[in-house]
Amino acid sequence: MRAVVQRVNHGSVSVNGETVGEIDRGLVVLLGVGRDDCEGDAKYLAEKIANLRIFEDNQGKMNQSLRDIQGSILAVSQFTLYGDCRQGRRPSFTEAAPAEEARKLYQVFVNELVKLAVPVATGVFQEHMVVTIENDGPVTMLLESRNEAKEEKQ
C-alpha cells in the first residue's frame, strides 16, 4: 500500500462539482492499494499516519502528530500511485489491486483511522475527483507498507 501524505491548512474533494469531503488543518492522504496488499497494510498505514510527527511544536520543530494537534484526514483513493512508467510512455497499472479488493482495503484504512479517533473525510471511490490542497510547508511524505505488514499476509 502506498500513501502520499500532505500536511495542509485546507483540503477538499469534489465530484461533479459537488464537495463530498473537506477538512481544515490536517493531512490529505492519497492512498493506493497494491495487488499484494492486505488488511495489515491498511492498519499499519492508518496507525503510522495518525501518529506521524510532521506538525511543528512551539519551537518550530516537527514534533507533533495529527492526533496531538487534533487535526483531520482527507483520505482519497488513488490507484495511479501504482502506475509503472519505466517502459514506454503509457503507465501500466498491473500492480494496482483490482477495484473491489482496493475498495475493501481503502475502507479498512478509513475505519482504522476512525477507531483511532481521527476525524476523516473521504472522496468517492472509483469516481473522477477534483482534489484541492492548500499544502502547508510544503510538507509531503511518501509511505509504503509492504515491508511492515508481512506477517499479516501469511
Q: Is 122 in the active site? A: no
Distance CA 48, CA 41 (A): 10
Q: Is 132 in the active site? A: no
Q: How many residues are given for the chain?
A: 154
* Helices marked H in the chain: 39-51, 66-69, 99-115, 150-153
Q: Is 59 in the active site? A: no
Cis bond leading into 98, ω under 30°? no
Sign of the CA dihedral 71, 74, 75, 81?
A: negative
Distance CA 14, CA 33 (A): 21
Say if residues 43 and 37 touch (Cβ distance below 8 Å).
no
The residue from 19, 70, 80, 126 that is catalytic is 80
The residue from 55, 78, 109, 122 that is catalytic is 78
The residue from 55, 79, 109, 122 that is catalytic is 79
Instruction: Name the residue type at position 42.
Output: A
Hey, which residues are catalytic here? Answer: 78-80
